[in-house]
Structure 1
Amino acid sequence: MSSILLAEDSSTHAALMRSILESAGYHVECVENGRLALETLGQRQPDLVVTDLRMPELNGMELVRAIAEKYSHLPTVVVTARGSESLAVDALATGAANFVPKNSLHKLLNRVVGQTIRMAHADRVFGEGYPPLKRPEFTLTVANDIAAIEPVVLFVVQTLAATGHMNPTHRIRIGTAVYSAMLNAICFGNLEIQDSETLLSRLLAGDETGVQEMAERAAKPEYARRTVELRFSVGEHDTRIQVSQTGRGRVTRMTPAPGTPESFELEQCRGLMLLTSLMDDVIFRAGNSEVVMVKNHD
């Protein structure tokens, strides 16, 4: 059973998040602020920390920064209330692995937490004593299957760990960026899902009808031959990852404006924010059908 340390000063929100997490089988320990969270971490280590951003004594931003500095193997996920979007951006820049809007807890919390924990476990496959992998490169092509994304992401994280470049926090954050890029490429590039559709929202929430409808859509003749390609290359000074799709949909957008409350409620905008916040350089090209992400090793 994976363990989670939850830092949240609101008893109502803490009870809700604890209930959601425990429903997925996690062991959850709750504290009221960042100071108590750090004291707890000094005594025992969970698999992941979930934290609110606005808390007394030591806020979520300060907690994320302290964890990134002292416990680089320990991923953090921040939860954000409407109106604190800029804090979420800052938390991602500071070291958080992902974020979940509070109005999307039922839909996203367990999904994000599970993905992040599995990436952390994948990162630990290569411990000390292994000779480092030198300049790995590979290209993978996947069909329009959301379930195919995570195995690719875990392979990316394991490969990065095998090179010895960067610390676990950075490698997990790269995994988050790759997941978001591939999800956007499949859903909005190849399958051309629109904001007005509830399909992706239902799928992310684990609704079986959403899973079924996504598979049916991907099998339609106009979408079936479309694919997503990932090119991965680790050099001496940086890691470069290219994700491209063969569909007609756009994986970038200008509205709603990035960082606004409205943008946090759309999965495509959320994914784009993760890309730009977690990677050092993000380049969109080829008519917005391709994104190149760069992460420096220093």
Structure 2
Amino acid sequence: MPKVLIVDDALTDRVRVSGIASRWMDCTILEADNGKSAMEQIAAHLPDLVLTDLHMPEMDGLELVAAVKEDFPHIPVILMTGQGNEDVAALALRQGAASYVPKVRLADDLVSTLNQVHSAAKSEQSQSHLMHYLGEASATFQLPNDPMLIRACVNHLMNMLRCLPLGDETERLRVGIAVQEAVNNAYYHGNLEVTTAAGDDHARFNEVAMSRCYEEPYMQRRISVTARINREQAEFIIRHDGPGFDFGSVNGEDAGNGKRGRGMTLMESTMDEVRFSDDGTEVTMVRHAAHDECDVDEEE
């Protein structure tokens, strides 16, 4: 049973977030009202995930992200942000947060984000250990519009990433989540041509996406995912068969939360290079090795 630590100085917000999080799996909920007490809870209980507010007394969300990354690098932190805090969210991602959710989107996005981050954090131990000894690998997948296969592909690439020194486990998770977001863009906005805008019904969004998986011309389209990974860098090229779109205007599943969108923020904050094709059908992302840091996830 996963343990989730919720950190927020407002009791009403902790209760609200606890209620939403309790619908995810059969998890144990821990609570703290600031970053300092959160660190004490983490040391005592070693939660699987940390959900933290941004503005708190004694130690705020950004300071907590940095502290967890320093002392407990294997524990992913999800930041909960207020409206208009895109720049702060991007800073938190650069400092090591695994992901973030706007507070106005908690009811719609929190459970899926918990699933995404927790799934990314889980790994089969023997395969994980083997991947640390991988010298170089490349792979190309031609994926149908199948969310389960997409998730399996991303998990496979995340295991391959263990050969790339990234500093710690959280960095590897962040790279995997950035790849997932890029593939999601290709799936939803590229092949299926589903769009969102502020106020859109997310249930309807997913209903349209699932329906189009079985309709022409969408059902014949494929997502090409190419990965080239060695001990110096990882390069990912994701291409879809749909009409091109303006990556800069894609909000993904983050309607109403900034013009760049959560997916774009995750990609650009995590990767060293993000390049888009002129026709809007392909993105190339590169992450370089962190040679000045110890790759502590070898012991995970």
Report the TM-score range of the alignment, normalised by the length of the smaller protein.
0.7 to 0.9
CA distance in 1, matches of 2:277, 2:20: 39
**8 Å CA contact retained: 1:92, 1:98:** yes
Counterpart of 1:248?
A: 243
Q: CA RMSD in A?
A: 2.4
Structure 1 window deviating more from structure 2 (142-151 vs 22-31): it is: 142-151
Equivalent in the alignment of 2:296 = none
Call closer, same or farther: CA 1:107–1:232 in 2, change over 3 Å.
Answer: same
Q: Residue 31 of structure 2 aligns with which residue?
A: 30
Secondary structure of the residue that 2:17 maps to in structure 1?
helix
Offset from partner CA, 1:158-194 (integer Å, 9 cap, x none): 2222x26322111100111011001101111111123
Q: What's 1:49 paired with?
A: 50
| Percentage of pairs with the same residue | 28
Is 1:19–2:19 an aligned residue pair? yes
1:119 corresponding residue in structure 2: 120
Contact 2:131–2:159, Cα closer than 8 Å, also in 1: no
Q: Check 1:23–1:140 CA distance in 2 against 1; reply closer, same or farther (3 A cut).
A: same
* Aligned AA (2:119): R
- Mean Cα deviation higher: 94-103 or 190-199: 190-199
Equivalence for 1:187: 188
| Corresponding residue pairs, total | 286
| Structure 1 residue 254: Cα displacement | 4.2
Aligned to 1:279: 271
- Structure 1 runs of 4+ aligned residues shifted over 4 Å read 123-131, 196-200
Distance apart, 1:249 and its partner CA: 3.6
Render the CA deviation track for 1:45-104: whole Å, top value 9, x for unaligned. Answer: 111111111111000000001111221111111111113332111111100011101111
- Provide the rounded CA distance (Å) in 2 between the counterparts of 1:283 and 1:20: 36
Contact kept, 8 Å, 1:284 with 1:290, in 2: the verdict is yes
Q: Partner residue of 1:218?
A: 213
Asked if the contact 1:145/1:215 (under 8 Å) is kept, the reply is no
State how far apart, in whole Å, the 1-side matches of 2:132 and 2:82 are. Answer: 44
Counterparts in 2 of 1:26-175, with a 5 A limit? 26-122=27-123, 124=125, 126=127, 132-161=133-162, 163=163, 165-166=165-166, 167-175=168-176
Give the whole-Å Cα distance in 2 for the aligned partners of 1:158 and 1:289.
26
SS of corresponding position for 1:23:
coil
Q: Secondary structure at the match of 2:117?
A: helix
- 1:164 to 1:285, Cα distance in 2 relative to 1, 3 A: closer
Partner SS, residue 29 of structure 1: strand
- Partners of 1:184 and 1:130 lie apart in 2 by 28
CA distance in 2, matches of 1:218, 1:130: 34
TM-score, normalised to structure 2, is: 0.87
Q: Which amino acid aligns with 1:117?
A: H
How far, CA to CA, are the matches of 1:78 and 1:124 in structure 2? 27
Q: Residue 292 in 1 paired to residue 292 in 2? A: no
Task: Please name the residue that 1:264 is paired with.
Answer: 257
Change (3 A) 1:278 1:243: same
Please say if residues 92 and 277 of structure 1, whose CA atoms lie closer than 8 Å, have aligned partners that are also in contact. Answer: yes
Find the residue that maps to 1:194 and give its secondary structure: coil
Give unpaired runs (5+ residues) of structure 1.
205-209
Check conservation: 1:72, 1:168, Cα contact below 8 A: yes
Residues 246 and 100 of structure 1, relative CA distance in 2, 3 Å threshold: same
Aligned residues of 2:247 and 2:280 also touching (Cα < 8 A): yes
